[in-house]
Amino acid sequence: MNDTNSAVAPPTGGPADPAANDGLVAANRILADQGVLDGYGHVSIRHSRAADRYFLSRSKSPAIITAEDIMEYDLDSNPVDQQGRLMYIERHIHGEIYKARPDVNAVVHSHSPTVIPFSVTTVKLRPICHMSAFLKNDVPNFEIRDCDGMTDLLIRNAKHGAGLARVLGSSNVALMRGHGNVCVGADIMTAVYRAVYTEVNARLQAQAIALGGPATFLAPEECELITGRRDTNFQRPWAMWKSRISIK
């Protein structure tokens, strides 16, 4: 969804790091190419030199975003320089998570297809392989009815965004019932990696359930050993994912 008006114009946090914004554009296109982002969904990064500012595209489908589309926001999700551009209504997802999570510098909101079914059932999404250990053993699920009763399910304001951030807590991923999910990370490669492998995990887990028989998930200790290591190596798939997209 999009938005046109904004009363407040906060000052800029300073010029964007061009490489960081190129990475943000790549992230949008990579996640569209990988089938994680549909025509909706969005990705943001925190301003590298101003912790109270973040960058997010104008209202546009991730697959076709360019560097010119990137806008700067404060953490109340007011644009620094709107220039009449349409804005994502749901940008409060990003602002409120950056407020609540100083460790987070990148946020992906998607309608990742195989993850949505887990948001509407009582079956929990759980880490089934080492690539998705970051899910750990308690992926929270945001039920917007608990936050604001009957709504159109969009994160339309700071109240909704803060409610989602609260449910996310210190996790890496939160589901959103009947809507999608958010994946966060200390940097854009980590958030993108998590968005891709959250979808992969959902597919694998759904297939394991369909096979029948008891399933062995990662033990909490295995999750800790994996997420705690320093050689995360997210740049390896990133280089391959990037080779598949073209940025004009």
Closest of 224, 66, 45 to residue 130, by C-alpha: 224
CA distance 57 to 53: 14
Active-site residue, selected from the candidate residues 72, 90, 96, 199: 90
190-200 residues labelled b (16+ CB within 10 A) or e (exposed): bbbbbbbbbbb
CB of 60 vs a copy of itself, minimal distance in Å: 7
- The residue type at 71: M
CB of 224 vs a copy of itself, minimal distance in Å: 9
Which residue, 98 or 134, has its beta carbon nearer to a copy of itself? 134
Catalytic annotation on 90? yes
Q: Beta partners for 181?
A: 110, 175
Which residue, 81 or 222, has its beta carbon nearer to a copy of itself? 222
Which residue, 99 or 124, has its beta carbon nearer to a copy of itself? 124
Angle at 60 between CA 59 and CA 66, to 5 degrees: 115
Angle at 83 between CA 53 and CA 159, to 5 degrees: 45
CB of 50 vs a copy of itself, minimal distance in Å: 28
Which residue, 102 or 221, has its beta carbon nearer to a copy of itself? 221
CB of 39 vs a copy of itself, minimal distance in Å: 3
The DSSP letter of residue 74 is: E
CA distance 230 to 176: 30
- 198 contacts 129 by C-beta, under 8 angstroms: no
Output the furthest CA–CA distance in the chain (Å, rounded).
Answer: 58
CB of 172 vs a copy of itself, minimal distance in Å: 16
- 53 contacts 12 by C-beta, under 8 angstroms: yes
Which residue, 14 or 35, has its beta carbon nearer to a copy of itself? 35
Catalytic residues: 90
